[in-house]
Amino acid sequence: DTAVSQTPKYLVTQMGNDKSIKCEQNLGHDTMYWYKQDSKKFLKIMFSYNNKELIINETVPNRFSPKSPDKAHLNLHINSLELGDSAVYFCASSQDTGGLGDEKLFFGSGTQLSVL
């Protein structure tokens, strides 16, 4: 049973389209994240949600809108896709550490987004 699952695994689309990526975790964690990994494998945080509340928004363009309907789900909607959005997007979750910082992240298998 997959701990952090995200769909779809691959997403190929045209510039200007709108797309969504879904993420679900069954670990009972309170905190979920979206990370972006570029072609050079650099992994950068985009958003953090704790108990459905947005905690971190790392200067991501407004075209990216996360939504957490409940603690187990965090979706990412992207409007007006651009070539530069092509990357692998990872969802992750962790236990709530009360802001101590010792988060141990559990990652999904990633969504490879290709914008043509």
Partner 1 sequence: QKEVEQDPGPLSVPEGAIVSLNCTYSNSAFQYFMWYRQYSRKGPELLMYTYSSGNKEDGRFTAQVDKSSKYISLFIRDSQPSDSATYLCAMTATGGFKTIFGAGTRLFVKA
Using rule CB under 8 A, residue 41 touches partner 1: yes
Using rule CB under 8 A, residue 103 touches partner 1: yes
Cis status, amide bond into 69, omega within 30 of 0: no
Query: Considering only CA atoms, which of 109, 112, 108 is closest in space to residue 88?
Result: 112
Parallel, antiparallel, or unpaired: how do β-strands 111-115 and 53-57 relate? unpaired
Question: Alpha helix (H) ranges present in the chain?
Answer: none
Size of the site for partner 1 (CB under 8 A): 28
Q: How far is the CB of 50 from partner 1 (least distance, A)?
A: 6
Q: Between 15 and 43, whose beta carbon lies closer to partner 1? A: 43
Q: Between 45 and 72, whose beta carbon lies closer to partner 1? A: 45
Using rule CB under 8 A, residue 84 touches partner 1: no
Using rule CB under 8 A, residue 40 touches partner 1: yes
Parallel, antiparallel, or unpaired: how do β-strands 10-13 and 111-115 relate? parallel
Give the 3-state secondary structure of residue 84.
Answer: helix
Residue ranges binding partner 1 (CB under 8 A): 4, 31, 40-45, 48, 50, 55-56, 58, 90, 92, 97, 99-110
